[in-house]
Structure 1
Amino acid sequence: MKGKSIYLRPFEEKDVKALTDFQIRNRLFFEKFSMLRENTFYTEKAQLERINQFKSDRELDLGYHFGIFKNEDGELVGTITLFHVIRGSLQSAIVGYFLDQTHNGMGYTTEAVKLLVKHSFEELKLHRLEAGVMPHNIGSIRVLEKAGFHKEGIAKKNVLINGKWEDHQVLAIINPADS
């Protein structure tokens, strides 16, 4: 999936070094918004295992994990994921993303979310996408709103982050073809 500044593609084994470096470089930054990880997570072995799990998830239609790469030089600047894909009467998934701290504010995440939404609705035929964001993370809420998501409410003490149950602003978007 190609946009103006970035493209999304599934991770491959050849991405293991770039993904490991990305995780190490952003560890402290990401831990402000996500769970704490064991030191073993920050190894090429662990990242290769994740890449292989991503492939399995995709094949089983359980999740879709993409790298966010800059068009100009192919640099990995982020990750974006559809997880908890549910078929049947729900046809839904949850969106999550991480962008390299040095690339925040450049519009890459908004572009990536828009590409993922388009892919989710047009190719995967999902009906609804949801995302949860810590209420004080105004930048991330703004990203989702620019991509067409609307606020639905606060999920109280919804996600365990750094040993504390944190509230999350729930945002969602519905496939316009289903209106």
Structure 2
Amino acid sequence: MAFLRLTGPDPDSEIRGNAVVLRPPAMGDYGAWAQLRALSRMHLALWEPAWSRDELSRPAFRRRIRQYQREARDDQGYAFFVVHKAEGTLLGSITLSNVRRGVSQSAAVGYWIGLPHTNKGFMTDAVCALAGHSFSNLGLHRLEAACMPSNAASARVLEKAGFRREGMARKLLKIDGVWQDHDLYARLSDDP
């Protein structure tokens, strides 16, 4: 899938896993991102909010990048593309959002992986790498994640990455136009 190869990342902003590198997205990534999202659309629609009409357009991607930059500047969230370490191809994306400081020191983790790259351990590697960075470099104490009970692959990713199921939130998010229950997971900085 050479068409999904990304251009040179900034080594100073990388987080390295065993098989993946996490780095902030940039405008030069638009083509690879749009192609992977389009290729994975039917797969992702099961787990994501309904896409806007211009979801895959360059202007929508530009707005997304600007939002990510504002959130990082304000310590509210951090977005990363998940890139294959050896091949340089885009695999998916992972975010830290809703960063809460003060007595909470917590954030929410969200992610998606392109259909050609599912069930290969890449997202587990990415979640583990982001968790380590969040605890060691960002000083967070708690990471939270949610997935639909029917999304066994996502639950497996979280459990392999050391997250524990804490409960269920009824109709937490509107996914593909329908309010859906979500299982709630968390990992603490002092969890084994």
Q: TM-score, structure 1 length as denominator?
A: 0.95
Q: Is the aligned partner of 1:60 residue 2:74? A: yes
CA contact (8 A) 2:168 2:183 kept: yes
User: How far 1:12 sits from its partner (Å)?
Assistant: 1.5
Q: Is the aligned partner of 1:126 residue 2:135? A: no
Question: Deviations 1:115-153 (Å, cap 9, x if unpaired)?
Answer: 000010001101110000001111111110111100100
Instruction: Point out 4+ residue stretches in structure 1 off by more than 3 angstroms.
Output: none
* Aligned residue type for 1:52: R
Mapping 1:4-43, distance limit 5 Å:
4-43=18-57
63-72 or 19-28, larger mean C-alpha shift: 19-28
1 CA distance for matches of 2:78 and 2:109?
A: 10
Q: Is the aligned partner of 1:175 residue 2:189? A: yes
Give percent identity, aligned residues only.
Answer: 38
115-124 or 16-25, larger mean C-alpha shift: 16-25
Question: Deviations 1:67-119 (Å, cap 9, x if unpaired)?
Answer: 00001221111000001111111111100000011111110000000000001
Mapping 1:1-179, distance limit 5 Å:
1-176=15-190
User: How far 1:18 sits from its partner (Å)?
Assistant: 1.5
Paired residues, what number?
178
Question: Unaligned 5+ residue runs, structure 1?
Answer: none
User: How far 1:162 sits from its partner (Å)?
Assistant: 1.9
